[in-house]
Structure 1
Amino acid sequence: MLKDFQAFIARGNVLDLAVGVIIGAAFGNITKSLTDDVIMPVIGAIFGGVDFSGYFLRLGPVPAGYTGSLNNYAALKEAGAPLLGFGQFITVVINFLILAFIVFLIVRSVNRLMTRLEREKAEGTAPPAADPADVVLLREIRDELKAARGV
């Protein structure tokens, strides 16, 4: 069983997948920062300086003993108040759309590169052009002369 596991791990696909997951997680953090720190503040400024992550609806009472602001989503959520955080959802959707668009651009670029490489390979391996008829005739004459001489 241990040998099977080692063979499974040693396959290139598994290692490629592991590298992809690690890079994907790091890329997700970059995209999250891009969304939270660059795009959402600009969108918030366009819509009057509003932070989307602060948009929420309370669905029930605030827990007893809570002394924080009733407008602080993070504090209310931490206190255990039932909240509908649609602003945070909007932020996550925008984050997903950015990530999906970037992945689309990467896949599109790779597909174009692969198509170009396949086309260059096909052009490089094209069969040679057929010899002209007079060249073929001259070769036949040469071969007949060689055969007549007995060479």
Structure 2
Amino acid sequence: MEETTLSLLGKKTEYPQDYAPEVLEAFNNKHPEMDYWVRFNCPEFTSLCPITGQPDFATIQIDYIPDIKMVESKSLKLYLFSFRNHGGFHEDCVNLIMKDLIKLMNPKYIEVTGFFTPRGGISIYPYCNYGRPGTEYAEMAKDRMRTHR
């Protein structure tokens, strides 16, 4: 999708009421020959506990090394907002976010961490990552998983 076909940027915002991966949009990376990190820090993430229906709050951190496509930030904001009424365990939400972004962009490498606020006195910080199979990024993903703390 070229920048001229982005449908959300500069328009009135309509917020999805439930999980909506279809709102994600991508644009072409102007520097695909370079390896560089892109980080999104999303401190207002909310989802619902699938058992109790109580809200869960988190900071979601997304780090990736783009290839040809990059995620457009307003579409990412709306996508993350769509979890507000979605019932999902912390670990599920983080993995779902990563898988949807892989499907959208096919990045060289991506990792997603959820820093969920305590409920019942326990904080949960799920982490997942992915490196494109058959490349140096797959090995990078294994190394970062082994050394993650």
TM-score of the two chains, using structure 1 as the length reference = 0.20
The structure that has the greater radius of gyration is 1
Say which structure is richer in helix.
Answer: 1
TM-score of the two chains, using structure 2 as the length reference = 0.20
Greater relative CO, 1 or 2 (CA 8 Å, sep 6+): 2
Say which structure is richer in strand.
Answer: 2
